[in-house]
Amino acid sequence: MRQILYVSLAGENRISCWSINSNDGKLEHLADTKVSERPAPLAADIQNSILYVGRRDLPCVSSYKFDSSSGELIHLSDGPTLEGDPCYISLDKTNNYILSAYYEAGAVSVHSVDNGVFGDEKVWKTTGNGAHCVLTDADNSYALVPHIAGEKGINKILKYSFNQTTGNLDPMDIPSLSQPDNRGPRHYTFHPNGNYVFFSNEQESSVTAYGYQKGNLDELETLSTLPAQYGGVNTCAQIKITPDGKYIYAPNRGHNSIAGFSVDSNTGELNMNGRTQTEAMPRVLDIDKNGNFLYSAGLDTGYISVFKIKNDGSLEFIDRFEVGEEPMWILILPVTE
């Protein structure tokens, strides 16, 4: 399976596309596309070859047709001007709705889309400061919205039912899950079996495993992403799981490492699987669709480091590639030819 990698470069107002070598994971540059107003979060409708881009200084979400051979992007449509800059975007499982989270504005939204053309705003809900992620579960029936802690976050996970017919988000009967002081849930990822969900916690520098059922969360355990002796400043960012559900990775911004965990698919329990040094301020990462390689971008360095995911989940450095200023998102897409 051929794969390509898109990286948004907010510092240069462009999106860069790279081809992934399936044998060694190395990157080969394909194309650059100018996208103004600080492009950041990315999401893709793979079936229809549409890339969605959150533009944080406009602010809006725009759509582009992507050419999987050349990597070039052709502008399709701009969504409505938003009340805040989108820090996270995702498509529901029907590809008919774009869900967005707004860190500064403290909100979540849903907009309808039809093959890249934006329709009505279905939802705009004020949630509280620090909203950082939103996506629907495997059944496309529920969505979670974590909020970081500190002065700019309410330190909660909000829970919604999602109606894929209307696009509506409605608070669940128990609408939120409070967190221990200064934990700061930021991003999350579901286990492939749908029974567990894992959160990276920005302020606490930790990962929490929850049992998951129909929007409800049952905390199983929380493990630090840092070594016990580390005393410096650090925050966590994204979190990714391998396609087989065996390993989870979360980047440490400050310690400048990737924390790895093994996952028990029967219980959801985590075990620390080591830390690997990476680019400075590793804000974003992604894993290829075969689960063979991990890509970590350094916000401060403008490079992507490539790692081989070994059979035991440990990471082996392969190479690093200069991509440009302020990489804000990495998105790996499979290509069907």
Cα 167 to chain centroid distance, Å, stands at 21
Encode pLDDT of 291-323 as tens digits. Answer: 999 999 999 999 999 999 999 999 999 999 999
- What burial class does residue 221 get, using C-beta atoms within 10 Å of its C-beta: 0-12 exposed, 13-18 middle, 19+ buried? middle
Instruction: Please give the pLDDT value at position 135.
Output: 98
d(CA 334, CA 336): 7
Q: Is residue 337 predicted with pLDDT exceeding 70? A: no
Given pLDDT bands bounded at 50, 70 and 90, which one contains residue 335?
A: confident
- Residues near 2 by Cβ (< 8 Å), separated by ≥ 6? 19, 20, 22, 68, 334, 335, 337
CA neighbours closer than 13 Å in the CB half-sphere of residue 268: 24
d(CA 177, CA 32): 42
Average pLDDT, the chain: 97
Q: Is residue 336 predicted with pLDDT exceeding 90? A: no
Instruction: Please give the pLDDT value at position 329.
Output: 98
Given pLDDT bands bounded at 50, 70 and 90, which one contains residue 208?
A: very high
The position carrying tokens 């462009």 is: 14
Q: Is residue 275 predicted with pLDDT exceeding 70? A: yes
User: CA quadruple 217, 247, 306, 331: dihedral positive or negative?
Assistant: negative
Calculate mean pLDDT across residues 233-249. Answer: 98
- Residues near 152 by Cβ (< 8 Å), separated by ≥ 6? 103, 104, 129, 130
pTM above 0.85, yes or no: yes
d(CA 129, CA 171): 17
Encode pLDDT of 168-184 as tens digits. Answer: 999 999 999 999 999 99
Instruction: Please give the pLDDT value at position 151.
Output: 86
Six-digit token string for 81? 């001007």
Q: Strand, helix or coil at 53?
A: strand
Encode pLDDT of 125-165 as tens digits. Answer: 999 999 999 999 999 999 999 999 998 899 999 999 999 99
